[in-house]
């Protein structure tokens, strides 16, 4: 696994231990198997962004603490120049750039997400997390599954949904799809 994943795993384990929460308790509260959480904490498995988000909310810390090891410092505004967000490549299906990692007390988590097209058709990789999510397609075509529904979005289309329901995204066609995702 990457050095980045190793550092995030160490921060996760350290935060859990400092807060004196057992692995089993945290896993049960996050509704994931304890063995999966142990794999995340030992950098034996990629940690989905939705899990990082849930852990940050659980411990009442900014997600950037888990990602970078630093507390956000900005209170008035934050600028992220083109292509310079904090990369979060936790799942092979998606690449994320956090667009507000250094802003204190965010009410939402904005990401620039890129979904690469698949060489062969595979089932949706579904995830769920508390809150709501807003997606706005910037480039390409995006197919979204939520529960038993599927929708196809083109450039300029927007989709707002209950993120606690299982959902996943796929690029349609031969080009990557890119969208703005905001988690509330």
- What is 71-92 written as a DSSP string? ---BSS-----TT-SEEEEEET
Sheet holding 141-146, edge to edge: 149-153, 141-146, 167-172
Q: Give the CATH number for residue 154.
A: 2.60.120.10
pLDDT digit string, tens, across residues 67-85: 888 777 777 888 888 878 8
Structural domain total, the chain: 2
Across 92-110, average pLDDT? 82
Q: Is residue 120 part of a domain?
A: yes
The Cα–Cα gap between 41 and 9 comes to 5
Do 55 and 141 reside in the same domain of the chain? no
> For 94-115, what is the mean pLDDT?
86
134 in the same domain as 92? yes
CATH of the domain at 37: 1.10.260.40
The dihedral of CA 30, 31, 33, 34: what is its sign?
Answer: positive
Same domain, 53 and 96: no
Range of the domain at 132: 86-183
pTM of the model: 0.73
* 118: pLDDT strictly greater than 60: yes
**Per-residue pLDDT tens for 119-167?**
788 888 888 887 899 999 999 999 999 988 999 999 999 999 998 899 9
Same-domain status, 107 and 35: no
For range 3-20, the mean pLDDT: 89
């Amino acid at each position: 696994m990457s050095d980045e994943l190793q550092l995030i795993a160490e921060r996760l384990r350290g935060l859990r231990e400092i807060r004196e929460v057992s692995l089993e308790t945290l896993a049960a509260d996050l509704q994931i198997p304890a063995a999966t959480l142990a794999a995340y904490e030992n950098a034996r498995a990629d940690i989905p962004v939705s899990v990082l988000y849930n852990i940050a909310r659980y411990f009442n810390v900014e997600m950037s603490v888990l990602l970078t090891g630093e507390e956000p410092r900005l209170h008035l505004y934050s600028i992220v120049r083109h292509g310079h967000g904090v990369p979060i490549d936790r799942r092979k299906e998606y690449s994320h750039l956090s667009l507000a990692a250094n802003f204190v007390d965010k009410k939402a988590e904005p990401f620039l997400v890129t979904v690469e097209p698949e060489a062969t058709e595979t089932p949706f990789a579904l995830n769920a997390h508390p809150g709501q999510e807003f997606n706005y397609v910037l480039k390409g075509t995006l197919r979204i599954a939520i529960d038993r529904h599927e929708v196809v979005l083109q450039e300029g289309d927007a989709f707002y949904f209950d993120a606690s329901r299982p959902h996943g995204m796929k690029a349609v066609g031969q080009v990557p799809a890119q969208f703005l995702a905001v988690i509330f």
